[in-house]
Structure 1
Amino acid sequence: MDNSQPILIGLSGPSCSGKNTASSILEEYGFYCIDADAVSRRVFVEYENEIFNLFQAEAEKLGIDLKKEKGIDKKAFALFIFSDEALLKKHEDFILPIIEEKIWEEIKKAFAEKPERPILLNAPTLHKTSLIKKCSFILYIDAPFILRLIRAKKRDRLPFKNIRLRFSKQKEFFSQYLFLNADTVVVKNSWSPAKLKDKLLQEVKKRGF
Protein backbone atom coordinates (compact mmCIF):
# COMPACT_ATOMS: atom_id res chain seq x y z
CA MET A 1 0.00 0.00 0.00
CA ASP A 2 1.12 3.57 -0.70
CA ASN A 3 2.25 5.11 2.60
CA SER A 4 2.80 8.57 1.10
CA GLN A 5 -0.86 9.41 1.76
CA PRO A 6 -3.18 8.52 4.66
CA ILE A 7 -5.12 5.29 4.18
CA LEU A 8 -8.64 6.60 4.76
CA ILE A 9 -11.73 4.40 4.96
CA GLY A 10 -15.22 5.81 5.40
CA LEU A 11 -17.84 4.48 7.79
CA SER A 12 -21.36 5.72 7.29
CA GLY A 13 -25.01 4.77 7.48
CA PRO A 14 -28.31 6.02 8.91
CA SER A 15 -28.91 6.92 12.56
CA CYS A 16 -28.81 4.07 15.08
CA SER A 17 -27.62 1.49 12.56
CA GLY A 18 -24.59 0.47 14.64
CA LYS A 19 -21.80 2.67 13.30
CA ASN A 20 -20.20 3.18 16.71
CA THR A 21 -20.20 -0.56 17.37
CA ALA A 22 -18.57 -1.10 13.98
CA SER A 23 -16.00 1.59 14.74
CA SER A 24 -15.11 -0.06 18.06
CA ILE A 25 -14.66 -3.42 16.34
CA LEU A 26 -12.28 -1.96 13.77
CA GLU A 27 -10.42 0.04 16.40
CA GLU A 28 -9.70 -3.22 18.24
CA TYR A 29 -8.54 -4.66 14.93
CA GLY A 30 -5.94 -1.89 14.63
CA PHE A 31 -7.60 0.99 12.79
CA TYR A 32 -7.27 4.57 14.02
CA CYS A 33 -10.88 5.74 14.38
CA ILE A 34 -12.15 9.29 14.10
CA ASP A 35 -15.67 9.99 15.34
CA ALA A 36 -17.07 12.86 13.26
CA ASP A 37 -20.00 13.24 15.67
CA ALA A 38 -17.55 13.83 18.55
CA VAL A 39 -15.73 16.41 16.43
CA SER A 40 -19.10 17.97 15.60
CA ARG A 41 -20.01 18.26 19.28
CA ARG A 42 -16.72 20.00 20.06
CA VAL A 43 -17.19 22.41 17.15
CA PHE A 44 -20.77 23.13 18.26
CA VAL A 45 -19.54 24.13 21.74
CA GLU A 46 -16.70 26.21 20.32
CA TYR A 47 -19.00 28.09 17.91
CA GLU A 48 -22.15 28.09 20.04
CA ASN A 49 -22.57 31.87 20.07
CA GLU A 50 -22.21 32.11 16.30
CA ILE A 51 -24.75 29.31 15.79
CA PHE A 52 -27.22 30.93 18.18
CA ASN A 53 -26.92 34.29 16.41
CA LEU A 54 -27.36 32.58 13.05
CA PHE A 55 -30.73 31.10 14.00
CA GLN A 56 -32.10 33.29 16.78
CA ALA A 57 -34.41 35.41 14.61
CA GLU A 58 -35.92 32.40 12.77
CA ALA A 59 -36.46 30.52 16.02
CA GLU A 60 -38.15 33.51 17.63
CA LYS A 61 -40.55 33.80 14.68
CA LEU A 62 -41.62 30.22 15.37
CA GLY A 63 -41.92 30.87 19.10
CA ILE A 64 -38.97 28.59 19.89
CA ASP A 65 -36.55 29.44 22.68
CA LEU A 66 -33.15 27.98 21.81
CA LYS A 67 -31.36 29.38 24.85
CA LYS A 68 -30.77 27.65 28.16
CA GLU A 69 -28.94 28.99 31.19
CA LYS A 70 -25.72 27.24 30.14
CA GLY A 71 -26.00 27.74 26.40
CA ILE A 72 -28.09 26.43 23.51
CA ASP A 73 -30.79 23.88 24.30
CA LYS A 74 -29.36 21.17 22.02
CA LYS A 75 -32.51 19.05 21.97
CA ALA A 76 -34.67 22.04 21.02
CA PHE A 77 -32.10 23.08 18.44
CA ALA A 78 -32.05 19.62 16.82
CA LEU A 79 -35.86 19.56 16.57
CA PHE A 80 -35.78 23.08 15.16
CA ILE A 81 -33.27 22.51 12.34
CA PHE A 82 -34.61 19.08 11.37
CA SER A 83 -38.06 20.60 10.94
CA ASP A 84 -37.08 22.40 7.75
CA GLU A 85 -34.70 21.48 4.91
CA ALA A 86 -33.61 25.10 4.49
CA LEU A 87 -32.70 25.42 8.16
CA LEU A 88 -30.75 22.15 8.08
CA LYS A 89 -28.86 23.26 4.97
CA LYS A 90 -28.06 26.61 6.56
CA HIS A 91 -26.66 24.87 9.61
CA GLU A 92 -24.64 22.40 7.54
CA ASP A 93 -23.27 25.15 5.30
CA PHE A 94 -21.89 26.84 8.40
CA ILE A 95 -20.67 23.90 10.48
CA LEU A 96 -19.55 21.19 8.01
CA PRO A 97 -16.51 23.09 6.62
CA ILE A 98 -15.28 23.68 10.17
CA ILE A 99 -15.79 20.03 11.12
CA GLU A 100 -14.00 18.92 7.96
CA GLU A 101 -11.02 21.14 8.78
CA LYS A 102 -10.81 19.72 12.32
CA ILE A 103 -11.00 16.16 10.98
CA TRP A 104 -8.20 16.81 8.52
CA GLU A 105 -6.04 18.05 11.39
CA GLU A 106 -6.65 14.77 13.22
CA ILE A 107 -6.02 12.70 10.08
CA LYS A 108 -2.67 14.40 9.52
CA LYS A 109 -1.66 13.88 13.14
CA ALA A 110 -2.59 10.18 13.07
CA PHE A 111 -0.79 9.72 9.74
CA ALA A 112 2.37 11.38 11.05
CA GLU A 113 2.39 9.09 14.09
CA LYS A 114 1.91 5.84 12.11
CA PRO A 115 1.73 6.17 8.31
CA GLU A 116 0.92 2.50 7.67
CA ARG A 117 -2.09 2.44 10.00
CA PRO A 118 -5.50 2.71 8.25
CA ILE A 119 -7.72 5.55 9.45
CA LEU A 120 -11.45 4.96 9.80
CA LEU A 121 -13.68 8.01 9.51
CA ASN A 122 -17.02 7.38 11.24
CA ALA A 123 -19.14 10.11 9.65
CA PRO A 124 -22.92 9.89 9.04
CA THR A 125 -22.84 12.80 6.58
CA LEU A 126 -19.59 11.82 4.86
CA HIS A 127 -21.28 12.22 1.46
CA LYS A 128 -21.75 15.93 2.15
CA THR A 129 -18.02 16.62 2.48
CA SER A 130 -14.96 16.47 0.23
CA LEU A 131 -13.53 13.83 2.57
CA ILE A 132 -15.43 11.14 0.67
CA LYS A 133 -13.12 11.64 -2.32
CA LYS A 134 -10.14 10.70 -0.15
CA CYS A 135 -11.62 7.41 1.05
CA SER A 136 -10.38 4.13 -0.45
CA PHE A 137 -13.87 2.73 0.10
CA ILE A 138 -16.94 3.19 2.28
CA LEU A 139 -18.38 0.74 4.81
CA TYR A 140 -22.10 1.52 4.92
CA ILE A 141 -23.75 0.06 8.03
CA ASP A 142 -27.47 -0.61 7.72
CA ALA A 143 -30.04 -2.20 10.03
CA PRO A 144 -33.78 -2.93 10.04
CA PHE A 145 -35.90 0.17 10.53
CA ILE A 146 -37.73 -1.17 13.59
CA LEU A 147 -34.48 -1.96 15.40
CA ARG A 148 -33.13 1.50 14.62
CA LEU A 149 -36.36 3.05 15.89
CA ILE A 150 -36.22 1.13 19.19
CA ARG A 151 -32.57 2.01 19.72
CA ALA A 152 -33.18 5.70 18.97
CA LYS A 153 -36.10 5.79 21.42
CA LYS A 154 -33.99 4.22 24.15
CA ARG A 155 -30.95 6.38 23.44
CA ASP A 156 -32.45 9.80 22.71
CA ARG A 157 -35.76 9.59 24.63
CA LEU A 158 -37.59 11.59 21.99
CA PRO A 159 -41.18 11.12 20.80
CA PHE A 160 -41.47 8.61 17.97
CA LYS A 161 -42.70 11.32 15.58
CA ASN A 162 -39.48 13.29 16.11
CA ILE A 163 -37.34 10.21 15.57
CA ARG A 164 -39.24 9.35 12.39
CA LEU A 165 -38.72 12.93 11.17
CA ARG A 166 -34.96 12.60 11.71
CA PHE A 167 -34.91 9.24 9.94
CA SER A 168 -36.90 10.66 7.03
CA LYS A 169 -34.10 13.17 6.39
CA GLN A 170 -31.71 10.25 5.86
CA LYS A 171 -33.71 8.25 3.30
CA GLU A 172 -31.42 9.30 0.46
CA PHE A 173 -28.13 8.66 2.27
CA PHE A 174 -27.20 5.49 0.41
CA SER A 175 -28.27 6.80 -3.00
CA GLN A 176 -25.91 9.75 -2.48
CA TYR A 177 -22.94 7.38 -2.30
CA LEU A 178 -24.07 5.71 -5.51
CA PHE A 179 -24.53 9.11 -7.14
CA LEU A 180 -20.95 10.05 -6.17
CA ASN A 181 -19.64 6.74 -7.55
CA ALA A 182 -18.11 5.95 -4.18
CA ASP A 183 -16.85 2.38 -3.71
CA THR A 184 -19.47 1.43 -1.12
CA VAL A 185 -19.85 -1.86 0.76
CA VAL A 186 -23.16 -2.41 2.57
CA VAL A 187 -22.80 -4.28 5.85
CA LYS A 188 -26.09 -5.45 7.36
CA ASN A 189 -26.29 -5.25 11.15
CA SER A 190 -28.77 -7.63 12.81
CA TRP A 191 -27.69 -6.43 16.29
CA SER A 192 -25.44 -9.42 16.89
CA PRO A 193 -22.00 -7.91 17.65
CA ALA A 194 -20.31 -11.21 16.80
CA LYS A 195 -21.98 -11.40 13.37
CA LEU A 196 -21.25 -7.74 12.69
CA LYS A 197 -17.60 -8.31 13.58
CA ASP A 198 -17.37 -11.29 11.23
CA LYS A 199 -18.90 -9.31 8.37
CA LEU A 200 -16.68 -6.26 8.92
CA LEU A 201 -13.43 -8.19 9.19
CA GLN A 202 -14.36 -10.22 6.13
CA GLU A 203 -14.80 -7.02 4.11
CA VAL A 204 -11.62 -5.27 5.28
CA LYS A 205 -9.55 -8.42 4.79
CA LYS A 206 -10.84 -8.60 1.22
CA ARG A 207 -9.29 -5.15 0.76
CA GLY A 208 -5.93 -6.22 2.15
CA PHE A 209 -6.21 -4.90 5.70
Structure 2
Amino acid sequence: MTAIIGLTGGIATGKSTVARLFAEAGCYVIDADQIARQAVRPKSSGLRQIVNEFGLKILTNTGELDRSKLGNLVFNDSNQMTKLNAIVQPIIRDLIKQAVAKAKLVQPRAIILDAPLLLEQHYESMVDVIVVVTVPENVQRDRLMVRNHLNGAQARARIASQMPLADKEKLADFVISNTGTIEATKQHVIELLDHLSDFSR
Protein backbone atom coordinates (compact mmCIF):
# COMPACT_ATOMS: atom_id res chain seq x y z
CA MET A 1 0.00 0.00 0.00
CA THR A 2 1.41 3.39 -1.02
CA ALA A 3 1.86 5.75 1.93
CA ILE A 4 0.56 9.30 1.66
CA ILE A 5 2.85 11.88 3.25
CA GLY A 6 1.42 15.26 4.18
CA LEU A 7 4.20 17.83 3.68
CA THR A 8 3.80 21.21 5.32
CA GLY A 9 5.73 23.99 7.06
CA GLY A 10 5.80 27.73 7.43
CA ILE A 11 6.32 30.35 4.77
CA ALA A 12 9.95 30.51 3.52
CA THR A 13 11.03 27.33 5.33
CA GLY A 14 12.05 25.65 2.06
CA LYS A 15 9.10 23.30 1.69
CA SER A 16 9.22 23.47 -2.11
CA THR A 17 12.85 22.35 -2.05
CA VAL A 18 11.92 19.38 0.15
CA ALA A 19 9.03 18.49 -2.19
CA ARG A 20 11.48 18.48 -5.11
CA LEU A 21 13.82 16.17 -3.18
CA PHE A 22 10.93 13.77 -2.54
CA ALA A 23 10.14 13.81 -6.27
CA GLU A 24 13.77 13.06 -7.12
CA ALA A 25 13.61 10.10 -4.71
CA GLY A 26 10.75 8.53 -6.69
CA CYS A 27 7.73 10.03 -4.96
CA TYR A 28 4.64 11.47 -6.65
CA VAL A 29 4.05 15.07 -5.51
CA ILE A 30 0.56 16.60 -5.42
CA ASP A 31 0.71 20.40 -5.09
CA ALA A 32 -2.30 21.63 -3.06
CA ASP A 33 -1.70 25.22 -4.22
CA GLN A 34 -2.07 24.16 -7.85
CA ILE A 35 -5.22 22.24 -6.98
CA ALA A 36 -6.61 25.33 -5.20
CA ARG A 37 -6.06 27.32 -8.41
CA GLN A 38 -7.73 24.56 -10.42
CA ALA A 39 -10.76 24.77 -8.10
CA VAL A 40 -11.43 28.38 -9.14
CA ARG A 41 -10.41 28.30 -12.80
CA PRO A 42 -12.59 30.22 -15.30
CA LYS A 43 -16.05 28.72 -15.92
CA SER A 44 -15.64 26.33 -12.97
CA SER A 45 -18.37 25.67 -10.43
CA GLY A 46 -16.07 27.03 -7.72
CA LEU A 47 -15.60 30.38 -9.46
CA ARG A 48 -19.34 30.68 -10.16
CA GLN A 49 -20.11 30.14 -6.48
CA ILE A 50 -17.50 32.71 -5.43
CA VAL A 51 -18.99 35.28 -7.83
CA ASN A 52 -22.47 34.55 -6.47
CA GLU A 53 -21.18 35.22 -2.95
CA PHE A 54 -18.76 38.11 -3.48
CA GLY A 55 -19.91 39.72 -6.74
CA LEU A 56 -18.37 40.38 -10.14
CA LYS A 57 -15.89 42.81 -8.59
CA ILE A 58 -13.57 39.89 -7.76
CA LEU A 59 -13.08 39.05 -11.46
CA THR A 60 -10.48 40.41 -13.86
CA ASN A 61 -11.48 41.86 -17.23
CA THR A 62 -10.84 38.43 -18.79
CA GLY A 63 -13.16 36.59 -16.38
CA GLU A 64 -10.48 35.10 -14.13
CA LEU A 65 -10.39 35.31 -10.34
CA ASP A 66 -8.58 38.45 -9.18
CA ARG A 67 -6.77 36.95 -6.18
CA SER A 68 -5.60 40.32 -4.94
CA LYS A 69 -9.12 41.76 -4.78
CA LEU A 70 -10.53 38.63 -3.18
CA GLY A 71 -7.67 38.60 -0.70
CA ASN A 72 -8.41 42.17 0.32
CA LEU A 73 -11.99 41.14 1.01
CA VAL A 74 -11.32 38.04 3.08
CA PHE A 75 -7.95 38.32 4.85
CA ASN A 76 -9.11 41.02 7.25
CA ASP A 77 -12.63 39.65 7.76
CA SER A 78 -12.99 36.23 9.35
CA ASN A 79 -16.67 35.96 8.37
CA GLN A 80 -15.82 36.50 4.71
CA MET A 81 -12.95 34.01 4.96
CA THR A 82 -15.35 31.45 6.44
CA LYS A 83 -17.72 31.96 3.51
CA LEU A 84 -14.89 31.52 1.01
CA ASN A 85 -13.61 28.35 2.68
CA ALA A 86 -17.12 26.89 2.75
CA ILE A 87 -17.16 27.20 -1.04
CA VAL A 88 -13.67 26.14 -2.04
CA GLN A 89 -12.56 23.61 0.58
CA PRO A 90 -15.03 20.83 -0.38
CA ILE A 91 -13.99 21.26 -4.03
CA ILE A 92 -10.29 21.19 -3.15
CA ARG A 93 -10.75 18.04 -1.05
CA ASP A 94 -12.51 16.28 -3.93
CA LEU A 95 -9.77 17.29 -6.36
CA ILE A 96 -7.09 16.06 -3.93
CA LYS A 97 -8.86 12.70 -3.64
CA GLN A 98 -8.93 12.45 -7.45
CA ALA A 99 -5.23 13.33 -7.63
CA VAL A 100 -4.37 10.70 -5.01
CA ALA A 101 -6.34 8.03 -6.88
CA LYS A 102 -4.45 8.93 -10.08
CA ALA A 103 -1.11 8.87 -8.24
CA LYS A 104 -1.76 5.39 -6.83
CA LEU A 105 -2.01 4.02 -10.37
CA VAL A 106 1.65 4.94 -10.90
CA GLN A 107 2.66 3.00 -7.76
CA PRO A 108 5.29 5.52 -6.62
CA ARG A 109 7.56 5.10 -3.62
CA ALA A 110 5.19 7.41 -1.72
CA ILE A 111 2.61 10.09 -2.48
CA ILE A 112 3.44 13.58 -1.19
CA LEU A 113 0.58 16.00 -0.50
CA ASP A 114 2.44 19.33 -0.52
CA ALA A 115 0.03 21.60 1.39
CA PRO A 116 1.01 24.82 3.21
CA LEU A 117 -2.31 24.74 5.10
CA LEU A 118 -2.36 20.98 5.71
CA LEU A 119 -3.04 21.40 9.43
CA GLU A 120 -5.06 24.62 9.27
CA GLN A 121 -7.51 23.07 6.78
CA HIS A 122 -7.46 19.68 8.57
CA TYR A 123 -6.14 17.63 5.66
CA GLU A 124 -4.31 15.42 8.17
CA SER A 125 -7.16 12.89 7.93
CA MET A 126 -6.21 12.41 4.26
CA VAL A 127 -2.57 11.41 4.94
CA ASP A 128 -0.69 8.63 6.73
CA VAL A 129 2.31 10.67 7.89
CA ILE A 130 2.71 14.37 8.69
CA VAL A 131 6.07 15.95 7.83
CA VAL A 132 6.84 19.51 8.89
CA VAL A 133 9.72 21.49 7.35
CA THR A 134 11.16 23.91 9.88
CA VAL A 135 13.82 26.58 10.34
CA PRO A 136 14.48 29.05 13.20
CA GLU A 137 12.22 32.10 13.00
CA ASN A 138 15.09 34.50 12.34
CA VAL A 139 16.15 32.39 9.33
CA GLN A 140 12.54 32.24 8.15
CA ARG A 141 12.20 36.03 8.47
CA ASP A 142 15.47 36.75 6.64
CA ARG A 143 14.62 34.36 3.79
CA LEU A 144 11.17 35.88 3.44
CA MET A 145 12.53 39.43 3.37
CA VAL A 146 14.90 38.52 0.53
CA ARG A 147 12.44 36.36 -1.42
CA ASN A 148 9.43 38.69 -1.24
CA HIS A 149 11.30 42.02 -0.96
CA LEU A 150 9.74 42.79 2.44
CA ASN A 151 10.98 44.79 5.41
CA GLY A 152 11.31 43.15 8.82
CA ALA A 153 7.88 44.23 10.07
CA GLN A 154 6.14 43.00 6.93
CA ALA A 155 7.93 39.65 7.10
CA ARG A 156 7.06 39.19 10.79
CA ALA A 157 3.40 39.99 10.04
CA ARG A 158 3.30 37.34 7.30
CA ILE A 159 4.84 34.76 9.63
CA ALA A 160 2.49 35.70 12.48
CA SER A 161 -0.55 35.17 10.24
CA GLN A 162 0.20 31.43 10.06
CA MET A 163 0.02 28.68 12.65
CA PRO A 164 3.29 28.88 14.64
CA LEU A 165 5.93 26.44 13.46
CA ALA A 166 6.34 25.16 17.01
CA ASP A 167 2.66 24.13 17.05
CA LYS A 168 3.03 22.38 13.71
CA GLU A 169 6.08 20.51 14.96
CA LYS A 170 4.05 19.14 17.89
CA LEU A 171 1.59 17.61 15.42
CA ALA A 172 4.29 16.18 13.13
CA ASP A 173 5.32 12.56 12.81
CA PHE A 174 8.65 13.69 11.33
CA VAL A 175 10.36 17.09 11.37
CA ILE A 176 12.84 18.11 8.68
CA SER A 177 15.19 20.86 9.80
CA ASN A 178 16.08 22.85 6.68
CA THR A 179 18.87 25.02 8.08
CA GLY A 180 21.83 23.07 6.71
CA THR A 181 23.05 22.20 3.24
CA ILE A 182 20.86 20.75 0.50
CA GLU A 183 22.71 17.47 0.99
CA ALA A 184 21.77 17.44 4.68
CA THR A 185 18.12 18.04 3.82
CA LYS A 186 18.29 15.28 1.20
CA GLN A 187 19.55 12.89 3.89
CA HIS A 188 16.50 13.74 6.02
CA VAL A 189 14.26 12.85 3.09
CA ILE A 190 16.08 9.56 2.44
CA GLU A 191 15.97 8.68 6.14
CA LEU A 192 12.22 9.24 6.27
CA LEU A 193 11.55 7.16 3.16
CA ASP A 194 13.79 4.34 4.42
CA HIS A 195 11.86 4.19 7.69
CA LEU A 196 8.41 5.13 6.41
CA SER A 197 6.67 2.23 8.11
CA ASP A 198 7.89 3.50 11.49
CA PHE A 199 5.92 6.75 11.07
CA SER A 200 2.66 5.39 9.66
CA ARG A 201 -0.25 6.39 11.86
Partner in structure 2 of residue 69 of structure 1: 61
SS at match of 1:68: coil
**Residue 88 of structure 2 is aligned to residue 95 of structure 1:** yes
Pick from 105, 109, 134: which aligns with 1:142? Answer: 134
> 1:130, 1:14 → 2: CA distance?
16
SS at match of 1:91: helix
> Any idea what the Cα deviations from partners look like across 1:27-63, whole Å, max 9, x if unmatched?
1001111111111111122333422332249xxxxxx
> 1:170, 1:26 → 2: CA distance?
24
SS at match of 1:99: helix
Q: 2:53 is aligned with what amino acid? A: L
Aligned CA distance change for structure 1 residues 191 and 98 (closer, same or farther; 3 Å)? farther
Q: 1:136 is aligned with what amino acid? A: D
**Residue 87 of structure 2 is aligned to residue 80 of structure 1:** no
> 2:147, 2:165 → 1: CA distance?
22
Q: Which runs of 5+ in 1 are unaligned?
A: 58-64
> 1:84, 1:12 → 2: CA distance?
25
Q: Which runs of 5+ in 2 are unaligned?
A: none
Q: 1:18 is aligned with what amino acid? A: G
Partner in structure 1 of residue 194 of structure 2: 205
Aligned CA distance change for structure 1 residues 141 and 183 (closer, same or farther; 3 Å)? closer
Q: 1:1-209 alignment to 2 at 5 Å?
A: 3=1, 6-45=2-41, 46=44, 47-56=46-55, 66-70=58-62, 71-114=64-107, 117-129=109-121, 131-156=123-148, 163-172=155-164, 175=167, 178=170, 184-190=173-179, 192-207=181-196
> 1:97, 1:153 → 2: CA distance?
33
TM-score where L is the length of structure 2? 0.79
Q: Are the aligned partners of 1:13 and 1:174 in contact in 2 as well (CA < 8 Å)? A: no
> 2:53, 2:166 → 1: CA distance?
30
TM-score where L is the length of structure 1? 0.76
Q: 1:55 is aligned with what amino acid? A: F
SS at match of 1:126: coil
> Any idea what the Cα deviations from partners look like across 1:55-92, whole Å, max 9, x if unmatched?
249xxxxxxx6443233321232243222333323222
Displacement of 1:124 in angstroms is 1.5
Q: Are the aligned partners of 2:40 and 2:65 in contact in 1 as well (CA < 8 Å)? A: no
Aligned CA distance change for structure 1 residues 168 and 88 (closer, same or farther; 3 Å)? farther
Q: In the comparison of the two structures, how many residue pairs are matched?
A: 194
Q: Are the aligned partners of 1:8 and 1:121 in contact in 2 as well (CA < 8 Å)? A: yes
Q: Are the aligned partners of 2:119 and 2:168 in contact in 1 as well (CA < 8 Å)? A: yes
